[in-house]
Amino acid sequence: MYVIVAGAGIIGRQITKMLVENGHDVVVIEKNTEICESLYAETGVLTINGNASDIAVLEKAGALKADVVISLMGSSADNIACSLMAKSLGVPNIVSRLRDPKYSEAYRLAGVTSIVRMADLIVNQIMMEVEQPKVKKIIALGGGSADIYSVKIPAGAKCVDMSVQDIVKKRSFPEECVFIGIYKEETGDFHIPRGSNTLSEGDTVFLASKSQFIKKATDYLTETKK
Tens digits of residue pLDDT in 84-132: 999 999 999 999 988 788 898 999 999 999 887 754 445 555 665 666 6
| Least confident residue range of 15-24, 38-47, 132-141 | 132-141
Q: How much is the average pLDDT of 27-45?
A: 94
Virtual torsion, Cα 94, 21, 140, 191, nearest 10 deg: 80
Burial class (CB in 10 A: 0-12, 13-18, 19+), 41: exposed
What pLDDT shows up at residue 51?
95
Residue 136 burial (C-beta neighbours within 10 Å; 0-12, 13-18, 19+): middle
Domains by residue range for the chain, with CATH: 2-131 (3.40.50.720), 135-222 (3.30.70.1450)
Instruction: Report the mean per-residue pLDDT for the chain.
Output: 88
The answer, yes or no, to whether residue 142 has pLDDT greater than 80, is no
